[in-house]
Structure 1
Amino acid sequence: MFESTYKICFTKMTEEHFLNKVFASSGITKDELKEIIPRYKQVTFQKGDYLLKEGQVEKFYWFIESGFIRSYIIDTEGNDITFNLYGSGDVVIDYPSMFFFAPTRENIQALTDLVCWEITFNNFQELFNTILNFREQQRGLLVGSYFALKEHSISLIADQAKNRYLKLLKEKPHIVQNVSLKHIATFLGITDTSLSRIRKEIANNP
């Protein structure tokens, strides 16, 4: 698939705990869970591994149980720019690539060792077409992802850098605490130096 120390492992207790938690608020019944949960596999990645590389077509998507991921793109000057940051409980997927079978322009990379729950496109499609509650949950995730991306894109244009950082700190403190300043800075559309200045200003004026 790609160069990686990708592994598949099965841990029944973890599966029941984490995936039941993921689907708990989705209206999915116990009988439906019996159909859904076996379609997921627990997979691990090591820090630095790629879940997806530019030019590949997405064939899976993942729920993160533990660890952190970033997606990045390469700009016209050859710099890698963080496009999104993910932590525990997040869904990691390139929707256009997976659903339109298009080569991705993103690189999705593990920032730490990871434990994820993976489902293939074919299994996803089957569940989506046969289980209404699963379909509604996935639609909600898709809409939520779209609005988050749109809101971030607008924020890069309309908001001050300090406000962008404060919003990230409020909504995803675990990202700020565990991801390098370099990746956070490019995600916020600023330099490392600017981010350090903003953090110092906030620390001095709580």
Structure 2
Amino acid sequence: MNELETYISSFWNITGTDLKMVASFFQPETIQKGSFYLKPGKICNTLSFLQSGLMRVYLIDDSGQEITQWIAGKGGFITDLAGMLFNDASKCYIQALTDCECYTINRTEYNAMEKTVPKWHQLEKLFIARCFIFMEQRVFSLLSMTAEDRYKWLFNYNPALFNEVPLQYLASMMGMSPETLSRIRKRISS
């Protein structure tokens, strides 16, 4: 079982023939550091599993400031669900922060899975529910946690990010200024 199959199996709780079928739809892809997976106004036609590397999802607000929504790393999926599922134009950028190795499925193949994988509707529902729950948790943390608690949550979730990603991106993703992030890091590490 390769890494993609292992992740699909654990994420969707499928095995055997269904697992092999789902994994067979994904194709290996390399995305070079600095390349854009998606830009605003474009429709996202792909869903990718990150085998290695980091991708940043961000917006540019009306004042021209970049706001990092999320940084996806190894073992995560990357897409714009509104585009992939509803053919809506994206409002965000998705850019490779490092060279990335991915397994990617396009919309045509994604939609074809419902004909070849009998449990696909259940699996897709579970996938979308997990995405929704994760986003709910992110919104809740931004609204209810202190800046220090958000820092601790992200650090516990993925400590490697703090060595691999520019701090201004992490600060933006946690809804704080880079200066606030620096003060929190200094206070926690001392």
- Trace 1:29-178 onto structure 2 (pairs within 5 A): 29-178=15-164
Question: Structure 1 residues 197, 101: CA separation in 2 closer, same or farther (over 3 Å shift)?
Answer: same
Please say which of residues 23-32 and 107-116 is displaced more in the overlay.
23-32
Note the residue ranges of structure 1 that are not aligned, 5 or more in a row. 1-15
Give TM-score, length-normalised by structure 1: 0.85
Task: Give 1:49 shift.
Answer: 0.6
Question: Structure 1 residues 154, 31: CA separation in 2 closer, same or farther (over 3 Å shift)?
Answer: closer
Aligned to 2:6: 21
Note the residue ranges of structure 2 that are not aligned, 5 or more in a row. none
Question: Structure 1 residues 169, 41: CA separation in 2 closer, same or farther (over 3 Å shift)?
Answer: same
Q: Percent of aligned positions with the same letter in both sequences?
A: 29
Deviation per CA, 1:127-147, whole angstroms, max 9, x where unpaired? Answer: 135424444333222212112
Question: Secondary structure of 2:2's match?
Answer: helix
Deviation per CA, 1:140-160, whole angstroms, max 9, x where unpaired? Answer: 222121122122222222211
Question: Structure 1 residues 56, 195: CA separation in 2 closer, same or farther (over 3 Å shift)?
Answer: same
Distance 1:106 1:129 in 2: 31
Question: Secondary structure of 1:23's match?
Answer: helix
Aligned to 2:174: 188
Distance 2:130 2:164 in 1: 23
Q: Does the aligned pair in 2 maintain the 1:185–1:191 contact within 8 Å? A: yes
Q: How many residues end up aligned between the 2 structures?
A: 189
Please say which of residues 193-202 and 17-26 is displaced more in the overlay.
17-26
Question: Secondary structure of 2:138's match?
Answer: helix
